[in-house]
Amino acid sequence: MPQNNFALFTDRVLQVETKELTIDKPAAFSLAQNYPNPFNSTTQIKYSVPADEFVSLKVYDILGNEVAKLVNEEKSAGTYSISFDAANLASGIYFYSISMGNFNQVKKMILLR
């Protein structure tokens, strides 16, 4: 005859502790890789600002010519996402650059038609 192994727990929950969720400010400046990459016409670029700061986000072609200025303003602390529409650009490799305070970063993206 098969033997059934089981345990019976009779402990009861006497107290439930709840924690309020808060949305924290980002801990550091960051620039994410665009998504999707490669892309066809539109892509999303995310970045984080840990404190109120002037933000400049620009797109350049392979020759270093500025082709778009996506952000050029004071931003509050937080995480942002911006859509880049490249419908009027040719297929190829592009770079996007962000400057916030002393933070500067460049990433590569590929536009395929």
| Alpha carbon distances (Å) from 27 to 23, 36, 48, 78, 79 | 12, 25, 9, 10, 11
Was domain 30-111 assigned CATH 2.60.40.1930?
yes
pLDDT value of residue 88: 95
As beta bridge partners, residue 104 has 99
pLDDT tens over the chain, length 113 residues: 556 665 555 556 555 555 555 557 888 999 999 999 999 999 999 999 999 999 999 999 999 999 999 999 999 999 999 999 999 999 999 999 999 989 999 999 999 98
Q: Looking at residue 3, what is its pLDDT?
A: 62
pTM here is 0.77
Q: Where are the domains of the chain?
A: 30-111
